[in-house]
Amino acid sequence: MKTDEKTEKTMPRENKISPNDGLFGLRDRVLGGYKITKTDAAALVGADLTALSLCANQIRERFCGNAFDMCAIINGKSGGCSEDCKFCAQSKHNRIPCETYALLDENEVVRAALYNYKKGVNRFSIVTAGRTLNAAEVGAVCENYKKIGEACGIFKCASHGLLNFGDFEKLLAAGVKRYHCNLETSRNFFPNVCTTHSYDDKIAAIKAAKKAGMEVCSGGIIGLGESFDDRIDMAFDLRELEIKSVPINVLNPIKGTKAENLPVLSEEEVRRTVAIYRFILPDARLRMAGGRGLFADKGEKIFMSGANAAATGDMLTTGGISIDGDMEIIGRLGFKVGLS
């Protein structure tokens, strides 16, 4: 996919970003390997959005090519969570009806993994509600991952909260190569999102997973009332942690949660956030996750603003997201679905 060079010639040069080289100059420096500073990133907040998206797309092309990483999840244990994450329907602190069940049995999990594998999805993860899993539950999910491995070749990821080093070693032995643990937001803003565990608890889990030899997928949720500076701070922490898969969720305010009255972000603001993330994390998979269905084009413009991965799935019942629909969009934009 080639971006339109003629478009660039008609773009306004953004003198606000740097008196020396403007937006396109900063892009050129990133293309040459420059790691931008927080001051550079903050200046991008005021850049012309069309030009910013164009530049982010070019950075993505240079560092990641046209590979597109698609993952799917299954909610392997639902509801009744002790934690108080403001946005989450599964928290006991948010008084809304939520389907509650214990760990799904192996047949259901394997069936879902196989379904996604046959549809061409790259990765599959069991996601469980709750602060962590107990020892018996870790044993049970490891058995499920082994069965998935016996059934098909889908790449296995896992998301089970604040596990410890020993748990990560067990997951790795069960064939799980990547662990998901979102930072959610910036260190400063985190207490506005959750008080039952801390930002440092998240960092500790991420570091333990890495120490055990796992790759880590970590990002957050935008639209919780945080500032652009908060989003930029989170991206710099992810860069520091050398995270190469970054889920970006857009808040879909759920009635009954503490986030119910927050406004939905505009697609323009999401595009701007993603484009700035691309400048900060040039070679990462920027993965559009929850909330993509809020937008009529299902994220198409966001995928042309630096994003190159997505959570998909016929089991995500909200927002009209389907695997076939996503495959059509991704192919039409010139991406190629596959692990990279």
**Binder to ligand SF4 among 64, 129, 172, 276 (CB under 6 A)?**
129
Q: HSE of 191 in the Cβ direction (CA atoms, 13 Å)?
A: 1
Of the candidates 321, 305, 333, 334, the one whose C-alpha atom is nearest the C-alpha of residue 71 is 321
Cβ nearer to ligand SF4, comparing 83 with 230: 83
Length of the chain equals: 340
Cβ nearer to ligand SF4, comparing 200 with 283: 200
d(CA 197, CA 190) in angstroms, rounded, equals 10
Residues between 141 and 170 that touch ligand SF4 (CB under 6 A): 161
The β-bridge relationship of strands 155-159 and 123-128 is parallel
Structure tokens at 238: 């992810």
Cβ nearer to ligand SF4, comparing 247 with 306: 247
Sign of the CA dihedral running 322, 155, 99, 265? negative
**Smallest gap from residue 194 Cβ to ligand SF4 (A):** 6
SS percent in the chain: helix, strand, coil, step 5: 40, 15, 45
Cβ nearer to ligand SF4, comparing 40 with 167: 167
Binding mask 63-102 for ligand SF4 (x = CB under 6 A): ------------------x-x-x--x-xx-----------
3-state secondary structure at position 191 = helix
Of the candidates 216, 179, 185, the one whose C-alpha atom is nearest the C-alpha of residue 198 is 185
Number of residues forming the site for ligand SF4 (CB under 6 A): 10
Structure tokens at 95: 């008084």
Cβ nearer to ligand SF4, comparing 152 with 203: 203
**Smallest gap from residue 212 Cβ to ligand SF4 (A):** 21
How far is the first Cα of the chain from the last one, in angstroms, to the nearest whole number? Answer: 17
Cβ nearer to ligand SF4, comparing 123 with 202: 202
Number of helices and strands (H, E) in the chain? 12, 10
Cβ nearer to ligand SF4, comparing 43 with 171: 171
**Smallest gap from residue 86 Cβ to ligand SF4 (A):** 9
Cβ nearer to ligand SF4, comparing 104 with 280: 104
Task: Indicate the burial class of 213 (C-beta count within 10 angstroms; 0-12, 13-18, 19 or more).
Answer: exposed
Q: Considering only the stretches 21-29, 32-40, 124-132, 254-262, report the one whose residues sit in contact with ligand SF4 under the rule CB under 6 A.
A: 124-132
Residues between 173 and 232 that touch ligand SF4 (CB under 6 A): none
**Smallest gap from residue 318 Cβ to ligand SF4 (A):** 16
**Smallest gap from residue 4 Cβ to ligand SF4 (A):** 40
Binding mask 294-333 for ligand SF4 (x = CB under 6 A): ----------------------------------------
The beta strands (E) that lie in the chain are given as 67-77, 123-128, 155-159, 178-180, 215-217, 220-222, 245-250, 285-288, 309-311, 336-337
**Smallest gap from residue 129 Cβ to ligand SF4 (A):** 4
Residues that bind ligand SF4 (CB under 6 A): 81, 83, 85, 88, 90-91, 129-131, 161
